[in-house]
Structure 1
Amino acid sequence: MTNPEAMQPYQRIVQDLRRQIATGQLQPGSRIPGIKELAEQYAVAPGTAQRALGELRIEGLIYSQQGRGSFVSNQAPISTESTADAVRRLEGMVSELLARVERLERGSD
Structure 2
Amino acid sequence: MTIAEDDPRQPYVQAAETLRREIRGGAIKPGHKLGSVRELASRFNISPTTVQRALGVLRDEGLLTTTGRGNYARDPKQVAEAGSSGSGLEISEVLRQLEHVTSQLSELRGRVERLEASQPGRADEN
TM-score over 0.5 for the alignment?
A: yes
* Superposition CA RMSD, Å: 2.0
* Greater RCO (Cα-Cα under 8 Å, separation 6 or more): 1
Q: 2:54 aligns with which of 32, 52, 55?
A: 52
Q: Does structure 2 conserve the Cα–Cα contact (< 8 Å) formed by 1:28 and 1:73? A: yes
> What are structure 1's unaligned runs of at least 5 residues?
81-109
Higher helix share: 2
Find the residue that maps to 1:32 and give its secondary structure.
coil
Are 2:74 and 1:73 equivalent residues in the alignment? Answer: yes
| The structure with more radius of gyration | 2
- Identical-pair percentage: 37
Give the distance between the partners of 1:6 and 1:14, measured in 2 at CA.
Answer: 14
Q: Which residue of 1 aligns with 2:15?
A: 13
> What TM-score do the two structures reach when normalised by structure 2?
0.55
- The equivalences for 1:22-101 within 5 A come to 22-66=24-68, 68-74=69-75, 75-77=78-80
Return structure 1 stretches of 4+ with deviation > 3 angstroms. none
> What TM-score do the two structures reach when normalised by structure 1?
0.63
**CA 1:76–1:27 in 2, change beyond 3 Å: closer, same or farther?**
farther
